[in-house]
Amino acid sequence: MSRLRQLWVCYRLQLKVMMFSPFEGFLAVVFPLMFATAALLVYRVNNDPEAMLFAGIGAAAMGIFTSQTTSAAMLVQRERRAGTLELVVAAPTPFAYVLLPSTFAMATLGLYSVVAVILWDWWLFDLPLQVENWPGFVLSILMATFTIALFGFLLSVTVVRYRTAWALGSALEYPGWLLCGFVVPLSLLPGWALPLSWALAPTWGVAAMRASAAGESPWFELAVCLGVGLAYAVLAAWLGVRLIDSARRNATLALT
């Protein structure tokens, strides 16, 4: 119970910080609408309703992914700049139990983008969302959010040793949109890029969203999405211990 309370407190506090942060608030509120507008303006040229719906669903998921890449990469860096990273690492609570609820808070804020983009598409482009399987669609959104949070957890752990972690997160944002098939079909990607796409949980999450919208079964995509996300969590937990131990041995944790 004490561990669950600690996770809840970290999650709630991080969510409050993000909601009242000017940068995080702008990123969460404005960016998803900008990205959705740009994507749908491109697709509207051909006047293809199916393509517009494809892009609209992908654009709704882009906001969740965007809420993780740059923010999760900067998570440890913010602690380092504030001079609290050493205290967090030295605390009895495992380092992973501090990062994990923080990335889930970021993903929770990213859920706003799904609703906002759907309403934005309907209001600006007259593109109502047509969903045949609403329970599967909602479950797919939640699964995509869950696994993207675990991807952010892995990213935040991986960059603990780097000064310019924010740059790595920003560099992953736009290639991730392509590799996950948010606005471009995976069939248009070169063959060597497909294994990279399959290794990204959001690829399967957005595929499940589209399958549910079309009235098809999303269960295979959901199962793969969950499996890949849990692999992220296991790898991040293992890396967290190894990287922190290495930083302690080499006295490189501060990296200011």
Count CB atoms within 10 A of the CB of residue 81: 11
CA distance 4 to 9: 9
Q: In Å, what is the CA distance from 157 to each residue of 29, 147, 166, 199? A: 26, 15, 13, 18
Cα angle for residues 232, 238, 244 (degrees, 5° grid):
120
Pick from 9, 174, 22: nearest CA to 105: 9
**All structural domains of the chain with their residue ranges:** 2-250
User: Model pTM?
Assistant: 0.84
Count CB atoms within 10 A of the CB of residue 87: 10
Per-residue pLDDT of the chain (256 residues; tens, 9 = 90+): 778 888 888 888 888 877 776 666 566 667 777 878 888 888 777 777 777 778 888 888 887 887 777 777 777 777 777 777 777 777 788 888 888 888 888 888 778 778 888 888 888 888 777 788 889 999 998 998 889 888 888 888 877 666 666 677 777 778 888 898 888 888 888 889 899 999 999 999 999 999 998 888 999 999 999 999 999 999 988 887 787 777 777 776 665 5
CA distance 64 to 192: 26
Helix (H) or strand (E) holding 231: helix 219-250
DSSP letter at 93 equals: S
